[in-house]
Amino acid sequence: MKILELRFQNLNSLYGEWCIDFTAPEYEDNGIFALVGPTGAGKSTILDAICLALYGATPRLGRITKSGNEILSRQAGECYAEVTFSSQAGRFRCHWSHSKARKSVTGKLQEPKHEIADADTGKVLESKKSLVLGIIEAKTGMDFDRFTRSMLLAQGGFDSFLKANSEEKSKILEQITGTGIYSDISVAVHERTREEKQRLQQLQQQLSGIALLSDEELNTAQHKVIELEQQMTQTQQQLGQWQQSLSAYQQQIQLQGELNSYQAELNQHHEQQDFFQRLQQRIEAGQRAATLHSLYQNITALRQRQTGLTQEQWRLANLKPSLQEAATTANDQLQHKEAALVALRRRFAESEPLWQQVRELDYQLQTQQASLAAKYTRVETLRATVAQSQEQLSEQQQHRDKLHQAQQHARDYLREHQADQRLVQELAAIEGRYQHWSEDNQRIQAQEQWLARARHDVSLANQQLEQAQQQYHLAQQQLQSELSKLNEWQQQLDQLLAGKLVREYRAEKDRYEQEAYYLRRIESLEQQRQKLKDGDPCPLCGALEHPYAHGQIPAVDAVMAQLQIVTELLAKADLLEQQITAQKAKVEQAQQSVYAGEKHVLQNQSLVAERQALLAQGEETQHQLQRQQQQATQRLLAELSAWGISQLQQDAATALEPLKERQRLWLAAEDNLRYSEQQQHQLHAQIERLCATLEANRQALGELEQELQLDQQRLGTLQQQRFTLFQERCPEQERNSQQQEMQNAEQALVQARAAKERAHGDLARLETQLEAVEQQQQQVVSELEDAAVRWQQGLADRQFKDESAYLAASIEANELAALQQQHHGYELRQQELATMMADRRSRLQALIEQLQDEVSQDQLESQVAEANQQMEQLREQIAQLKVSLQQHEANLVKVQSQQAALEAQQRECQRWDHLHSLIGSADGKKYRNFAQGLTFELMVAHANRQLERMSDRYLLVRDEQAPLELNIIDNYQAGDIRSTKNLSGGESFIISLALALGLSKMSSRKVRVDSLFLDEGFGTLDEDALEVALDTLASLHEEEKLIGIISHVSALKERISTQIRISPNQGGRSVVQGPGCSRE
């Protein structure tokens, strides 16, 4: 992180708006600069502005809130701080502001405002005050405490990192170096190890739940499938032959039905023969009429044209008289308009000289009236100015008297309250100490609340421990109960099986079933057994001996009885095995509950011990805080007793309100006195100016009133002349009126001429149209006579008696085509029916001859139904056996897969167990502590390299007992190891400076320290140590770091060429000067 620019306004003695650009060439070239100036000028305020802009707090005052703002400049209504910085996340601008109501000096403080924006685009990232600090911490990688311990070492706090405890150092190192990931890794390893163990248990449970067939059961099922498939093949062949014969019967019925259907349709066609003959005659007449279609259209068109021309000739003849009358009227109107226009032009020429004379008089009157109005305005303005000046003079004299009284009142107050002048200088320090006392009280109260919560937490942890122990005992009792049930069911199963295995009973059951099957088969082959003779081979099995040929067949009932006993025993065994399997799951669940309960008890025991230790530590801290607060209370009361305050209150603002009021009244009296004196001098000069202005305005007013009377007399003379000549009329209006009349007459004349031309044109066009229509009428009559002759000849040639006969026979083209298509379809369908009936008769005769030697159709259907039923039974038996075999194969593959997965998961668990033993833990401390130790050791190595440049006496080493604590090896005392708590001021500064430089060397993907600010501390060094420290800081310029130093040491100010000088002026105000510094 590097500070690029700082802007601020009205902070302590730095009034106004200021800007410091740290990218100026002087800072880039040297890399180190000094903030110099006398005590109280405002050097530390520059660093306060940086802290305010980033975190809304300062190292000296803490967080600035609505309740108090001691950094706001006196007599100012608002302040702000803005810093632009760069980090590994980008360039950003933070803005903090605080103002009083309406930005008034006497207004109440409002809530501060805080925002962060992208410096390149100007986009505001966050403006909600409660969220801005989180965004800033994410972008900088540091909160306020870590910023003031690693990047900005404020006055009196340069050794804060050195004195920080292990936990605080760990947080700073974690954010600067990015080692927080090691804690996440440790927790992730712990969780992954637990997940891998759970996965291993799941695989073991899945493997134990897969069942397989025995070898004997597998062979029996396979032989049974082969035998059933052979039976099904034989049955299927016989079924195919029967189905072919049955299909022939069905085809015979179908062919006979089709033959009957075709014969019925053919009979229907014969019935419609008369209709289609009439249809043929209609088509022939329509075809003859179609040849006369063009002649009929021609004569019809000529008749229609003759009728239209006759009507048009009659219309034009009726229109001609009205057009002749309109032409005569237009000639008369044109002559009248011409005479009127001549008269109007003569009158306009006679009136023009009079109008010109009247216009000249009107111009003189207008000029005289404008001049008179302007003078009236000037007179009224001068009168108002004189009255206003008299009123202002009176007010200024009264104000002068009031200022004199205010001056006297302010002098009396300052003389009577001379003691309050000390509050101006001392109240801020008093309020700071009072605020610290109040904050300590709040910390004590907060500690009391924390102790109450801690005691409650201890009590709650003890209750949780008792509950966990009770749950653990209940889980143990539940486990014993489930184990007892499991043993009981296992004993029942052992008694039932009588020392045998379940698969032995299943094999025995299969043997009884096979034996029963063979016995039933033997019973069904009675006739075949009687034909057997000893010595001849059996046609079924090939045996030469036939013990069952003449009776002596074993009884089937005895075998079935044994089979029933074995079946019932297996059913009971299967039920017990299911219960045992379910009970094992319950036992395993109970064991898990016992393990979880034991773990819960251990966790709660650890939690109780941890909370009790925290409670004891908190009580000891509370006792220390109370002792310190008692001492602070005594010191504060001793200081406040001089100002009449004998009792302390929790709220510092309320307690010190009387002193603030006294301070405010004193400052107000000073300001009032100074203000009244300035106002008195200004009023004296204003009164003199008002008197001179009043006298000059009175003189000018008298002269202007005399000129006004003369202008009024001249105006009256001109008005009389104008009235005599033209009275009140307006020459321009009369001239415009006559011009408008002439324009209207000219337009009327133009319109009359156009109307005359239109009337004569309409009459000529009408006569032309009438002549053309008569010629067309004669031509149409001649064409119509020729067409009538051709039409009558055409009717005679096509055998039509007259035109009405032609119209009756005429058919539209699309209707004629439809009739032709209908007739053609009728003839084509007759041919198709004859062909299909001949085909069906020949095929039917062939089928009848084929089925003469076959059995009846009913017998075939019965045989097919029995064969289908037998096939269905065989398919069901084969499907059941194949499903059992397929399930066996699938389970076998599952077992092999599960065993491989189980072995792989065991290896994976061993690998994660080994990693967990090295870095895994539930809270992440195991790996984090290891990484923090390495990080701290690296930071110490960086710090020692910086320390070696400054002094060969000291060497930093880690404490063996506390990995994040430091000790010092003093080479000047024979390598004696010293505690950092036993260092002098100069030694502490050198060690703290080396640590700060070492921290700046440490960087990660989140945090990089490229700016370092040091406030005081150099005064504890001798000249040699100071020179070495400055050389060390200057060498950081090679790493592009910017170092800012505040100090009063003269040698340091002479050694650093780049300086920002803060110079105090009158009135407690300071000025900032230096490279990149400007006032807005």
Range 59-74 burial, b when 16+ CB lie within 10 A, else e:
bbbeebeeebbebbbb
What are the counts of helices (DSSP H) followed by strands (DSSP E) for the chain?
24, 18
The CA distance from 148 to 163, in Å, is: 13
DSSP 1004-1047: -SS-B--EEEEES-GGGS-HHHHHHHHHHHHHGGGGT-EEEEE-
179-193: per-residue pLDDT in tens? Answer: 667 778 888 888 888
The predicted pLDDT at position 400 comes to 78
647-684: per-residue pLDDT in tens? Answer: 777 666 677 777 777 777 877 777 777 777 777 777 77
Neighbours of 1024 (CB within 10 A): 10
> CA 968 → CA 331, 405, 951, 963, 1018, distances in Å?
134, 71, 13, 14, 20
My answer on whether 74 and 49 are in the same domain is yes
* Domain assignment of residue 173, yes or no: yes
- The CATH number of residue 1065's host domain is 3.40.50.300
* Domain assignment of residue 607, yes or no: no
The predicted pLDDT at position 116 comes to 93
The predicted pLDDT at position 183 comes to 78
- Over residues 389-402, the mean pLDDT reads 80
The phi, psi pair for 983, rounded to 5°, reads -115, 150
**pLDDT over threshold 80, residue 809:** no
Nearest-Å Rg of the Cα atoms of the chain is: 63
Q: Model confidence at 852, in pLDDT bands (50, 70, 90)? A: low
The CA distance from 561 to 895, in Å, is: 37
The CA distance from 770 to 796, in Å, is: 40
Long-range contacts of 641-645 (CB under 8 A, 24+ apart): 643/423
SS3 (DSSP) at 12: coil
Which range (46-50, 115-119, 223-227, 875-879) has the least confidence? 875-879
My answer on whether 156 and 88 are in the same domain is yes
* Domain assignment of residue 101, yes or no: yes
My answer on whether 861 and 907 are in the same domain is yes
**pLDDT over threshold 70, residue 370:** yes
- Over residues 184-210, the mean pLDDT reads 81
* Domain assignment of residue 435, yes or no: no
- Over residues 212-220, the mean pLDDT reads 80
My answer on whether 155 and 251 are in the same domain is no
Instruction: Give the list of residues 6+ apart from residue 276 with CB closer than 8 angstroms, or none.
Output: 823, 826
The predicted pLDDT at position 859 comes to 76
The number of distinct structural domains making up the chain is 2
**pLDDT over threshold 70, residue 178:** no
The predicted pLDDT at position 525 comes to 59
* Domain assignment of residue 564, yes or no: no
The predicted pLDDT at position 77 comes to 87
399-423: per-residue pLDDT in tens? Answer: 878 878 877 887 787 777 777 776 7
Q: What pTM does this model have?
A: 0.36
- Over residues 616-636, the mean pLDDT reads 77
- Over residues 276-294, the mean pLDDT reads 74
* Domain assignment of residue 183, yes or no: no
Final residue before a domain boundary, out of 881, 900, 918: 918
Final residue before a domain boundary, out of 856, 890, 918: 918
Cα dihedral 554, 560, 562, 567, rounded to 10, equals 150
Instruction: Give the list of residues 6+ apart from residue 625 with CB closer than 8 angstroms, or none.
Output: 440, 443, 444, 447
Contact 885, 225 (CB under 8 A): yes
Q: How far is CA 241 from the centre of its chain?
A: 75
- Over residues 886-912, the mean pLDDT reads 82
For the sheet with 2-11, list strands across it. 124-126, 113-118, 90-99, 78-87, 2-11, 14-21, 1077-1079
My answer on whether 869 and 842 are in the same domain is yes
The CA distance from 377 to 1063, in Å, is: 58
299-327: per-residue pLDDT in tens? Answer: 788 778 878 888 887 887 788 788 778 87
My answer on whether 69 and 9 are in the same domain is yes
CA angle, 950 then 953 then 954, to 5°: 80
Contact 62, 442 (CB under 8 A): no
259: containing domain: 192-292+824-918
- Over residues 46-56, the mean pLDDT reads 91
Final residue before a domain boundary, out of 918, 943, 965: 918
Which range (116-120, 476-480, 608-612) has the least confidence? 608-612
* Domain assignment of residue 754, yes or no: no
- Over residues 186-214, the mean pLDDT reads 80
Contact 14, 52 (CB under 8 A): no
Q: Which two tokens stand for residue 408?
A: 């006297």
Tokens 């008890």: give the residue: 601
Provide, rounded to the nearest whole percent, the portion of the chain with pLDDT above 70.
86
The predicted pLDDT at position 650 comes to 66
Provide, rounded to the nearest whole percent, the portion of the chain with pLDDT above 90.
5
The predicted pLDDT at position 899 comes to 83
Which range (409-423, 738-752, 850-864) has the least confidence? 850-864
- Over residues 203-231, the mean pLDDT reads 79
**pLDDT over threshold 90, residue 782:** no
Fill in the DSSP letter of residue 111.
Answer: -
* Domain assignment of residue 458, yes or no: no
**pLDDT over threshold 50, residue 920:** yes
- Over residues 534-549, the mean pLDDT reads 59
Neighbours of 920 (CB within 10 A): 23
The predicted pLDDT at position 79 comes to 93
My answer on whether 914 and 935 are in the same domain is no
β-pair type (954-958, 966-970): antiparallel
Q: Model confidence at 1005, in pLDDT bands (50, 70, 90)? A: very low
Its sign, for the CA torsion 515, 519, 524, 529, is: positive
My answer on whether 48 and 155 are in the same domain is yes
My answer on whether 163 and 260 are in the same domain is no
My answer on whether 152 and 253 are in the same domain is no
Q: How far is CA 525 from the centre of its chain?
A: 85
My answer on whether 85 and 155 are in the same domain is yes
The predicted pLDDT at position 1079 comes to 87
Q: Which of 996, 1031, 1027 has the alpha carbon at shortest distance from 1014? A: 996
The CA distance from 116 to 94, in Å, is: 4
Instruction: Give the list of residues 6+ apart from residue 1012 with CB closer than 8 angstroms, or none.
Output: 151, 152, 153, 996, 997, 1000, 1036, 1041, 1042, 1043, 1044
My answer on whether 889 and 956 are in the same domain is no
Q: What average pLDDT does the chain have?
A: 78
